[in-house]
Chain A
Amino acid sequence: NAGVTQTPKFRVLKTGQSMTLLCAQDMNHEYMYWYRQDPGMGLRLIHYSVGEGTTAKGEVPDGYNVSRLKKQNFLLGLESAAPSQTSVYFCASSYSGAQYFGPGTRLLVL
């Protein structure tokens, strides 16, 4: 039982490049979330999903897209990366109440 996993762990992008972050959970949770963590800002919600095939915007959705084609996976896409998207990205899943987080992806956009 791996819990929540994230791929990749670390990535460097140039401005304008695109990439996809993968989140996978093996707990059969309905709900999944993408957060970003920036110094002094805590964690802020980017997008979330309440079930397979559904997604919704969070607090800071601009510049990101998501997809939930399979219940266990939640993808976060950056179509044209910007330096302001340099951050640590956390995926989480939950069934009821407590959210369980992945190890994070550190993204640097130059």
Chain B
Amino acid sequence: AQKVTQAQTEISVVEKEDVTLDCVYETRDTTYYLFWYKQPPSGELVFLIRRNSFDEQNEISGRYSWNFQKSTSSFNFTITASQVVDSAVYFCALTPANQAGTALIFGKGTTLSVSS
């Protein structure tokens, strides 16, 4: 069975703090994709990143960075120097890479609140 666990339901930080959102997944597939999506208060789902299971290289994009560790089945997301605009619900998701059309399996999300 496939499963994505985001153990942190809510996180509150003050602006400029760094914050890490945890994601742990379970899958029997040997190749798969991992994703992070952002859902701001306006409600839309914004794609942030896709990571292939065979590529464990960490990625940095501006203030965002992702740490993929296959050994611990984790795909954590760090925001450096958080800003109020980062306040949103963040979802981690998983899908097998070799099954065309398979839907995403989502975690239940982590609500991040950044105060000024």
Contact = CB atoms under 8 A, between A and B. Distances in A.
Contact of B103 (A40, A45, A98, A103): A45
Interface in A41-59: 41-45, 48-51, 58
Given A42-B107, A42-B109, A98 B101 contact: no
A13 B44 CA distance: 22
Q: Give the size category of B's interface with A.
A: 10 to 19
Contacts of B104: 43, 45, 92, 99
Interface string B73-115: 0000000000000000001000101001101101111000000
B91 to A, nearest CB: 7
A90 B45 contact: yes
A33 B105 CA distance: 12
Nearest to B101: A50
Contacts of B33: 97-98
Contacts of A79: none
Contacts of B101: 30-31, 48-51, 94
Majority SS at the chain A contact face: strand
Given A42-B107, A45-B103, A103 B97 contact: no
A101 interface: yes
Interface in A14-73: 30-31, 33, 35, 40-45, 48-51, 58
26 contacts: A30-B100, A31-B101, A33-B103, A35-B103, A40-B108, A42-B106, A42-B109, A43-B104, A43-B106, A48-B101, A48-B103, A49-B101, A50-B100, A51-B101, A88-B43, A90-B45, A92-B104, A94-B101, A98-B33, A99-B35, A99-B47, A99-B103, A101-B37, A101-B45, A101-B47, A104-B43
Interface of A: 30-31, 33, 35, 40-45, 48-51, 58, 88, 90, 92, 94, 97-101, 103-104, 106
